[in-house]
Amino acid sequence: MANPLYDTLFGRHAGQSTPFLQLLDGTCLTHDSFLAMASQIAHVFADNGLSPGDRVAVQVDKSPECLAIYAACAQAGLVFLPLNTAYTASEVQYFFADSGAALIICASRSQPLIQAMADELDAAVLTLDADGSGSLMDHARRRPTTLAPVKRSPSDLAALLYTSGTTGRSKGAMLSQENLLSNAQVLAAEWQFTNQDILLHALPIFHTHGLFVAANVTLIAGGSMVFMPKFDLDTMISWMPRATCLMGVPTFYTRLLQDARFNRDLTAHMRLFISGSAPLLAETHIQFEERTGHRILERYGMTETNMNTSNPYSGERRAGTVGFPLPGVELKITNPDTGAALPQGEIGQIEVRGTNVFQGYWQMPDKTAAELRADGFFITGDLGQIDSDGYLHIVGRNKDLIISGGYNIYPKEIELLLDDQPDVLESAVIGVPHADFGESVIGILVPKPGKTPDISAIKLSVSAALAGFKQPRKLIIVDELPRNAMGKVQKNILRDRFS
């Protein structure tokens, strides 16, 4: 195949006027019109002097055009770098600089700020708004609707997805064509996706879940998606009768369960509900089955690895577990100190190996070596246990991470910012249980001797620097942080105290 990712996900639909994206205004974008749009965008990339391997950073609202940028990148051999729309200017500046992006596509509202950053980095800027307007599509609409895909090999990079780290500095996970493709093929087969499927797509498309799991699986199967700008309960409920499947983070499911309209009748025709990105409480799983008669299928993945495990489509979907390793994925539980494999039933760190596992962190050989072993096993940082039937239970994390509504938040990044605030000596950031988001963020501050930090001023400063979902919902002042004999802050004690 000349370009495995493009040919398998997109090229196969050439000339097919089958439905692909059903939009909320009642219109539908067919596969061939989507491909035409992607080709036009790929022409714009060439017009801007981009060549294979260049990075295209994209921070725009969800739209069909945004998804077509991903297709165009695959077609032109470029590396797609999607960014959360909640990131602030200072957050995205790091990603642009670190990746050496050749082109930045942003919303027109952020262009003035981003243009200045791009000028310093010698990157081009194009704009795209949620309604498809902006300079990208102005150019694209004047370009041809076909383009031969650039030749690529399975090991060529397809995407760079930034994931924060425990040291506070984000790392770009390099995903090859084969990483994405092999996982999409396995998932489509495991979950029995076909061209009859209509997926309710309410996830953002700047993360693995909404982009590679939801969109790639639908594309491989030739199905269609109800493409919603974001999760909205009423919209979800009103479109459900026309769909067959839903993929969501646990917050989607807890919100649906809070609505009496979400019942057995509404869901009787549905084929599949899939959950991932954060732990689904066994309680939610059980409540869901009681209400609808469906068992949610929970799976487990990461930015660096795509999907690793899944509950079975046909067998028992066991609450509180993430199922079995997917075909082609090797998984072991190891001793976090020695890396030695542990016997079945013991708790240890989860390590995975397979064609799904990424190529390393962009220009960070040391960080890559610390997490990706020479034998190909990736140390996930999650703690797990395999039960006697082979189901994987995620029992905790060996990394300091908060997951709120499916978004990962690394406390270190927030602590570094809080530590720098006037009159703050030190800080600790923890996650506490939250009914809607699973976990929410709390910041604990120790003042400098004799000082009282100004909480309102700190909140203001934090809000200018950090995306909304990362901002502590509460800032609490304490005299000192609990520490163990090694001087390490005991976050478990803080969590017990402030939960």
Chain residues that interact with ligand MLC, rule: CB under 6 A:
203-204, 207-210, 230-231, 249, 251, 276-277, 301-303, 404-407, 437, 468-469
Binding to ligand AMP in span 324-353, by CB under 6 A:
none
For residue 350, what are the β-bridge partners? 333
- Which residues, including other chains, have CB under 8 Å from residue 47's CB and lie 6 or more apart? 139, 143
Q: Which residue is nearest to ligand MLC (CB)?
A: 405
Q: Binds 404, which of ligand MLC, ligand AMP, none (CB < 5 to 8 A, cut-off by type)?
A: ligand MLC
Interacting residue with ligand AMP among 48, 84, 163, 166 (CB under 6 A): 163
Residue 371 in the binding site for ligand AMP (CB under 6 A): no
Range 406-433 burial, b when 16+ CB lie within 10 A, else e? bbbbbbbbbbebbeebebbeebbbbbbe
Do residues 245 and 200 lie in contact, with contact meaning Cβ atoms separated by under 8 Å?
yes
394 binds, among ligand AMP, ligand MLC, none (CB under 5 to 8 A by kind): ligand AMP
Cβ contacts of 200 within 8 Å, gap of 6 or more: 225, 226, 228, 236, 239, 240, 243, 245, 246, 247
Please, which residues have CB within 8 angstroms of residue 138's CB and are 6 or more apart in sequence? none
Taking CB under 6 A as the criterion, the residue among 110, 277, 310, 421 binding ligand AMP is 277
Instruction: For residue 487, report the phi and psi dihedrals to the nearest 5 degrees.
Output: 90, 5
- CA atoms within 13 A of residue 53's CA, in its CB half-sphere: 4
- The residue number whose beta carbon is nearest to ligand AMP equals 303
Strand 474-477 to 348-353 pairing: unpaired
What is the x/- site pattern for ligand AMP, positions 280-299, by CB under 6 A?
A: ------------------x-
Taking CA atoms, 67 is separated from 177, 227, 237, in Å, by 17, 10, 24
* Interaction pattern, residues 247-276, with ligand AMP; x per rule: CB under 6 A: -----------------------------x
Distance, CA of 36 to CA of 234 (rounded, Å): 32
Query: For residue 68, what is the enclosing H or E element?
Result: helix 64-76
Picked from ligand MLC, ligand AMP, none, the partner binding residue 279 (CB below 5 to 8 A depending on kind) is ligand AMP
Q: Which does 382 bind (CB under 5 to 8 A by kind): ligand MLC, ligand AMP, none?
A: ligand AMP
> What distance in Å separates the CA atoms of residue 45 and residue 67, rounded to the nearest whole number?
15
204 binds, among ligand MLC, ligand AMP, none (CB under 5 to 8 A by kind): ligand MLC
In whole angstroms, the minimum distance from the beta carbon of 404 to ligand MLC comes to 4
Question: 147 or 245: whose CB is closer to ligand AMP?
Answer: 245
Q: Which of 3, 110, 311, 380 binds ligand AMP (CB under 6 A)?
A: 380
Q: In whole angstroms, how close is the CB of 308 to ligand AMP at the nearest point? A: 9
- Minimum gap (Å) between residue 311 Cβ and ligand MLC: 14
